[in-house]
Structure 1
Amino acid sequence: MKNKSYIGISLIILIFGIIFIPRIVNRIKNGGLVQNDRMSLSNEMIKEDALYKVGPAPAFELTNQNNIKISNKNYAGKVYVLEFFFSTCPSICPIMNKNMAEIDKMFSKDKNFAIASITINPENDTPEVLKEHAKKLEITSENWNFLTGDKDYIFNLANKGFNLYVGENNKALGNFEHSGLFALIDKEGNIRCRKDKQGNPILYYDGLEQTGVDAIKEDINLLLNE
C-alpha cells in the first residue's frame, strides 16, 4: 500500500511539473510575473452583484507628470485603477499601457473615475519623462496621473502596501521586474475585486489578458453605480 501511495504522489508531482514548470519558466524569461501571480485565475472569475472588499488601500503621496503633488486624498470619492510600471519597460508595460488606455477611453468622461500609474524606476522617470511618456501614449485625460517619487518609498508602497511585487533584477528585461496586475479601488478607498469559481477573492485583475481587462471594466462600472 505504501508503494502505491508513493507512486501516486510521484505521478501527481510529475504531471504538475510537465504542465506548470514550463509556464513559470516562460514567464520569467519574458519579464512576466515572478510573485503574486494570480493570472491563472483570469479565466475562472465570476461576477457578483457585490464585489469583495479586500481592505483599505494604503495612503500615498507622489508627484505627477505635471510636477504636482498627488496623494490618495485626490482620489477620494472616485473609483480608480492603480498599477506599477516604468517607462522604459520592454516587456509587459507596453501591454499594460495599451490595456489601461482602453479602460481610460471607456471611463475618461466620468468625473468619478481616475487612474494612477506609479513608476518603479523614478531615477529615470522624472515628471518630465512621464509627461513625454503620456504624450507618446496619446493620453490627454486629466484623470490619469503618472506618478514618481522616492524609489524606496515606491517599493515599500508596492511590496508592503499593496502586496504587488516589484524589484530590481539585472537579469530581467529592463533591469526591473513587477506584476502585471491592476488594483481596483472604490470611492471609499477600499481595494475591491470579484471572486474565482472556488469563491476565493482574486485580489487584483490581470492587466495583460483581455479577460482581466473586460472584468475590471465591468467592475468599475459596478462601483461607479454603487
Structure 2
Amino acid sequence: MKKKNYSYIGIAFIILVFGIIFIPRIVNRIKDNKIVDNNKSRSVGIANPSDEEKKALALSFIEINGKPKKVPNFSFTNQDGETITQDDYLGKVYVVEFFFTTCPTICPRMNRNLIEIQNAFKNEDGFGIASFSIMPEVDTPEVLKAYAQDYGVTNPNWNLMTGEEKAIFDLANIGFNIFVGKVADDEMGFEHSGDFALIDKNGFIRSRKDAFGNPKIFYKGVISEQEKMDEDGNEQEISMLKEDIKKLLNE
C-alpha cells in the first residue's frame, strides 16, 4: 500500500508542477488573443490573402536589361483580310503561338489545346489569341480562314496572321524569344517551338516563377490536360496557363 501511495503522490506532484508552469501561460495567450482556430485561419488566408501573399502569387514580368519586356510593334493580315497590330490587343490578355497550317506534328496538338483554352474563356471579352504563321507563302488569309473554321475558332479576338516571312521570324526569335527556323533536312523545311507566351493587358510578357524564383517565360503548348505528361515525363502546363490567364484578367 505504501508503494501505491508513493505513486499517487508522484503523479499529483507532476500535475501540480504542470499547472504552476503552463496554466498561467495559457491564460495569458487567451488574453492576448494568440490562440487561433486553425481551420478558420486557413480559410481566411485563402479568401483574403495578405499583400505579401498577393505579391507572391502575382505573375512575373520578363525583364531584359532590368526593364519589363513588351510585345514589339507588328502589323500582319488576319484570316479575314484585316490588318492587325499589337494595338488591337491592348486592354486584353492573350496567348501567342507560332505555327503553320500544314504542320503535321506539334501544331495540331497546340491548336487543339488553344481551342480548349478558348472555350474555357468563351464568355470573356477581354481574352484573345494571336497565332502567327511561319509559312506565309502558303498560309494566305483564305487558307487561315479555312483552318480556323476546321478547328472551331470562334473567339473574335483570335487572329491567325500572315505576312512577310522575315518580319514573322524576327517577331518570334527576337520579339518573343520563341524559336523559329528553317531546317534543310526537315521534312517540312521548318522547325519551331511548341511553347506559348502569355501577354497582359498592357502588352507585357508575363509568367509565373519556377522553383528557383525565376520566371518560367513560356508555357508548354503541346501536352494536353488529358495526357497529363509526355513520354519524356514533362508535365502539361495548360492548366497552369488557364490559371494565369485568370490572374491577369483580374489585374
Same fold (TM over 0.5): yes
1:138 matched to which residue of 2? 152
> Paired residue for 1:51?
59
Q: How many percent identity over aligned positions?
A: 51
C-alpha distance after superposition, 1:165-224 (max 9, x if no partner): 101113224221100000000001100001111112111111012321111100000000
1:214 aligns with 2:228: no
What are structure 2's unaligned runs of at least 5 residues? 1-54, 63-68, 226-235
Q: 1:160 aligns with which of 155, 159, 174?
A: 174
Structure 1 unmatched runs, 5+: 1-46
Report what 1:37 is aligned to.
Answer: none
Q: Which has the higher contact order (CA 8 A, sep 6+)?
A: 1
What is the alpha-carbon distance in structure 1 between the residues aligned to residue 115 and residue 152 of structure 2?
9
Deviation at 1:160, TM superposition (A): 1.2
Q: Distance in 1 between matches of 2:161 and 2:218?
A: 20
Query: Which of 89, 94, 99 is residue 103 of structure 2 equivalent to?
Result: 89
Select the residue among 184, 190, 197 that pairs with 1:176.
190
Residue 122 (str. 1) matches residue 136 (str. 2): yes
Is the partner of 1:195 in helix, strand or coil? coil
Q: What corresponds to 1:80 in structure 2?
A: 94
Runs of 4+ in structure 1 off by over 3 angstroms are none
RMSD of the TM alignment (CA)?
1.3
Q: Which has the larger radius of gyration?
A: 2
Of the three residues 176, 197, 207, the one matched with 2:211 is 197
TM-score of the aligned structures, taking structure 2 as reference length: 0.70
Counterpart of 1:156 in 2: which secondary structure? helix
Q: Can you list the C-alpha shifts for 1:40-73, whole angstroms capped at 9, x where unaligned?
A: xxxxxxx942000112122211100000000010
Distance 1:121 1:57 in 2: 21
Distance in 2, matches of 1:148 and 1:217, equals: 26
Out of 62, 72, 75, the residue aligned to residue 76 of structure 2 is 62
* Residue type at the aligned position of 2:100: F
